[in-house]
Amino acid sequence: MFYSCSPAHAASGTLRARARTGTRSAIVDIHCHVMTPEAAALTKDLDDPGRAATATFAHPLTREVSRKQDETVRVPLTSIEARLKSMDKDGIDIQAISPAPVYYYWTEPELGRECARLINDNIARIVATHPDRFVGLGTLPLQAPALAVAELERCVKELGLRGVEIGTNIGGVELADERFRPFWAKAQELDVMIFMHPAGFTQPQRLADHYFTNIIGNPLDTTVAVSHLIFGGVLDAYPKLKICLAHGGGYAAAYSGRFDHAHGARSDCRRLIKKKPTSYLKKFYFDTIVFTHHQLEYLASVYGTDHILLGTDYPYDMALPNPVGFVNGAKLTRADKTAILGGNAAKLLKIKMPPGNARAKKPATRSRKK
């Protein structure tokens, strides 16, 4: 079985799926990061509020552990050779590479655009080196929505990227804010995947100990963002958006009954949406970074195996170990595992498969609790 990563405008390349993974289909990791040092260098002397918060709201031991991690991940974040070696070790055929979640939303618009262009050009360059192993997800200067829309078009139409990574708020502004509607409209029109990835919680004052800024703060910010997108009517206005949530969707995916109860019980919870909140929640996609089989099986049963995608969080210490083995160990059918490991990502990211590939064309099994 062969998969091709290449759209019509990119170099062609085919890939023989790795037999050792236990499946004949290609394995696609949709959550793996790349660093672009040129963008970091451009802003290193400026006052980054995110960097300041990370330094302030952290136990001294957290600062030390994170400092060491920053050193160890620099090579895997920047070296293509190290990345390929790690992919081969883990049985990953294709990475959908996205920027390290360091957003430049705090910069002036022109500088934000310059950072985004540097990062997106770097991602496109990496993809071009091995078009059979990588597809790209870009970044946008969302602090200036008009510039973001233009950069999104450039990413997709000129660079051949398959979507973009965005934060869970834009400098503290919720994604349901009216100013972002042109971005959502363009993302829907271009039919590209939006990979929503948090960068800590906006109010970290109570999260300084035990690395809570990440282990609680990241899923919490995703939860707040998802709630705004649902209750704020974004999914109502743009029903064809394809938004994939990092870290299994945070806490939103686990406690959605409270959304629907409030929607029925209180008029202030249904001002902007027509249907039950969970009907919108089921439109999202979720990665597999949940660490326990019961949570993965829960996501699959509630949201459908066609809405779950393999993700690792390469190359950080919060990454999912043995990602392919983790999915294969879940109580799911072989067809479901095949879809989660790569079939769903191939569809969302438009990784082309040759004609006559009946198994790959077959829709993923949907086993969703009503």
Interface ranges with Zn ion (CB under 5 A): 313
Half-sphere exposure of 59 (CA within 13 A, CB side): 11
Closer Cβ to Zn ion, 29 or 114, answer by number: 29
Which residue's CB atom is positioned nearest to Zn ion? 313
288: phi then psi, degrees, rounded to nearest 5: -95, 10
Q: Which is nearer to Zn ion, 248 or 343 (CB)?
A: 248
Work out how close the CB of 118 gets to Zn ion at its nearest, in angstroms, rounded to a whole number: 20
CB of 11 to Zn ion, least distance (A): 27
Distance, in Å, from the CA atom of 137 to the CA atom of 311, rounded to the nearest integer, reads: 14
In the complex, minimum distance from the CB of residue 363 to Zn ion, in angstroms, rounded to a whole number = 28
Q: Which of 190, 144, 18 is nearest to 92 (CA)?
A: 18
- CB of 314 vs Zn ion, minimal distance in Å: 8
Strand locations in 133-178, DSSP E? 134-138, 163-166
Asked if residue 259 lies in contact with residue 277, where contact means CB atoms within 8 angstroms, the answer is yes
Are 27 and 312 contacting, i.e. CB atoms less than 8 angstroms apart? no
Q: At residue 169, what is the residue type?
A: N
**Cα angle vertex 113, ends 150, 351, to 5°?**
55
Element (H, E) at 297: helix 293-303
User: For Zn ion, which is the closer residue by CB, 120 or 218?
Assistant: 218
Number of Cβ within 10 Å of residue 344's Cβ equals: 24
Backbone angles phi, psi at 17, to 5 degrees: -60, 145
CB of 218 to Zn ion, least distance (A): 8
- What is the rounded distance in angstroms from the CA atom of residue 28 to the CA atom of residue 135? 10
Instruction: Name the token pair of 18.
Output: 């790795």
CB of 323 to Zn ion, least distance (A): 13
Q: Which is nearer to Zn ion, 4 or 214 (CB)?
A: 214
- Tokens in use for 308? 């779950």
Smaller CB distance to Zn ion: residue 132 or 313? Answer: 313
* Cβ-proximal residues to 70 (8 Å cutoff; 6+ apart), any chain: none
Q: How far is the CB of 94 from Zn ion (least distance, A)?
A: 17
Distance CA 192, CA 163 (A): 5
Q: Quick one: 126 or 364, whose CB is closer to Zn ion?
A: 126
Q: How far is the CB of 162 from Zn ion (least distance, A)?
A: 17
Shorter beta-carbon distance to Zn ion: residue 122 or 214: 214
167 vs 232, which CB is nearer to Zn ion? Answer: 167
